[in-house]
Amino acid sequence: MEKDLTIEQIQNFEGKYPKQLWYLFFSEMWERFCFYGMRGMLTFFMVDQLLMNEKVANLQYGATQAFVYAFTFIGGLFADKILGYRKSLFWGGIMMIIGSIILAVNPQKFFFLGISFTVIGTGFFKPNISTMVGTLYKANDTRRDAGFSLFYSGINIGALLGGYACIYLGKNYSWNLAFGLAGIVMTISLLTFVFTQKSLSTIGISPLMHLDNSKRKLYEYATYIGTILAIPLIMAMVSNPEYTDYFMYTIGPITLLYLAYEMRNFSINENKKLIAAMVFIIFSILFWAFFEQSGGSLSLFAANNLDNDIFGLTLDPNGVNNAANSLFVIIFAPLLGIAWIWMSNRKSEPNTVVKFGLGFLFLALAFYTFYSTRFFADANGLTSLEMFTLAYFIITFGELCLSPIGLSIMTKLAPLKLQAVMMGMWFLASAYGQYAAGILGAGMVSANENATKAEKLITYTDGYQQLAIYAVISGVVLIAISPLVKKLMQEVK
């Protein structure tokens, strides 16, 4: 029986992937439908329905997404210390479903209340399912990167479907229906996990199993109640970008102090690995600050400045903006995963730091392509959806060199007792990236709210050219320091 499997038996799987990966794959796939469906609607909805100007909408998007990813650290912490990965995931899914229902009832009136539930829910769900994927592998299993690449490819099926479907439904039919659809698929995600978790042996159970049942339940119920009581505070912070500034100035230093405190309990070699992990985390902040223009400035760029023709097909530009990257990930992530294994067998695979550096170079080329769309524009400021899509094709390879590899390297470098916390810190870095993305996007907005489409085209593409330059510099620096970071990583590849 699957439920009688030990962790060792799971990790001694034959072939390229453990079968448990497929169960987590489907659960995460539907959760990503919900998340990316919501994410793809945010900026456009705030401008179109809440009547925010574009600068405020960019800042609000950055603030909202920053809280989403910041709470993954908190969710990881509670999973490590109290709930375990499974109960954290389940509780997060319930909160996301409630948020979707609230938004489906009246998204204009209850926007920030619904988003607050989604923020907390994602914080409990997202880091813990990724951590469970890492637990399916032994520490030095060379198939781990390929597994994370497949996982990353699979969840992008959800991102592809949700990214296009939700914005399309909202713009053309009903915003209530669009947000409601996100809640339906989140329910499917949760049910998928509930009915397949028996195959995971003891992976993800509560770390407090050694305590009396009543005492353990007390800690768990306190966590659930505390989460609900925190909703008004989260709502106040999410709805006011100024509060986001205070939060981001605080959570980062506190997190670093907490990590320093925990490092006292580990050996010198383990701490060297944690320092290496911090290098990846710091550079990932820069990467996401550039990459996550997709949900902010690029969303508005798509709405204002793109035609709707791509190779003879008529498509919604915002839908393409939300879905193109996911489509390319689905196609190329498994191929790249196979390529990493092929190169590893021939001892020619680039180390993880170099992969990160290559990610920035692809990112730079993609943003230069976004910049080049200005040369294809007509007199009214409408430009080529095809060139825009080409940029997403390029940016996908940058993402695949960094994001699935980043998830994998966190589970390799972190001591077992700190796995979920380090995964949470990885997502907290994304929070800072999202926060910076909102600021960068707001800086690209024309000072004139009544600017023409042609003027907006020039303003945004000038900003994308600057991001391309910054990405090149970051990539070169990373490749240059790769020997030093590789020493800190020791035997970890």
- At residue 224, the pLDDT reads 92
Residue 151 has pLDDT above 70, yes or no: yes
- Cβ-contact 197, 56 below 8 angstroms: no
DSSP letter at 79 equals: I
What CA–CA distance (Å, rounded) separates 176 from 164? Answer: 16
What contacts 190, CB < 8 A, 6 or more positions away?
A: 27, 90, 93, 94, 97
Q: Averaged over 420-440, what is the pLDDT?
A: 83
- Per DSSP, the three-state class of 139 is coil
Of the pLDDT bands very low, low, confident and very high (cuts 50, 70, 90), residue 447 is low
pTM, entire model: 0.82
DSSP letter at 137 equals: S
DSSP annotation string for 310-333: ETTEE--HHHHHHHHHHHHHHHHH
- At residue 465, the pLDDT reads 93
Q: Which residue has the higher pLDDT, 224 or 140?
A: 224
Residue 451 has pLDDT above 90, yes or no: no
Residue 102 has pLDDT above 90, yes or no: yes
Of the pLDDT bands very low, low, confident and very high (cuts 50, 70, 90), residue 464 is very high
Mean pLDDT of the chain, nearest integer? 86
CA 399, 404, 408, 411: dihedral to nearest 10 degrees? 90
**What are 313's strand-pairing partners?**
310
What percent of the chain shows pLDDT beyond 90? 26
Residue 1 has pLDDT above 50, yes or no: no
Quickly count: other Cβ atoms within 10 Å of residue 304's Cβ. 18
Beta strands per DSSP E along 275-417: 309-310, 313-314
Of the pLDDT bands very low, low, confident and very high (cuts 50, 70, 90), residue 58 is confident
What contacts 145, CB < 8 A, 6 or more positions away?
A: 337, 340, 341, 404, 405, 408
Residue 489 has pLDDT above 60, yes or no: yes
The widest CA-to-CA distance across the chain, in whole angstroms, is 72
Amino acid at position 195, single letter = F
Q: Averaged over 400-415, what is the pLDDT?
A: 78
**What are 395's strand-pairing partners?**
none
- Cβ-contact 24, 132 below 8 angstroms: yes
Q: Averaged over 30-48, what is the pLDDT?
A: 88
Q: Which residue has the higher pLDDT, 310 or 416?
A: 310
* H or E segment and range at residue 364: helix 352-372
Q: Averaged over 130-153, what is the pLDDT?
A: 77
Q: Averaged over 161-190, what is the pLDDT?
A: 91
* pLDDT digits 0-9 by tens, 234-292: 888 888 877 888 888 888 888 888 888 888 888 888 888 888 888 889 999 999 999 98
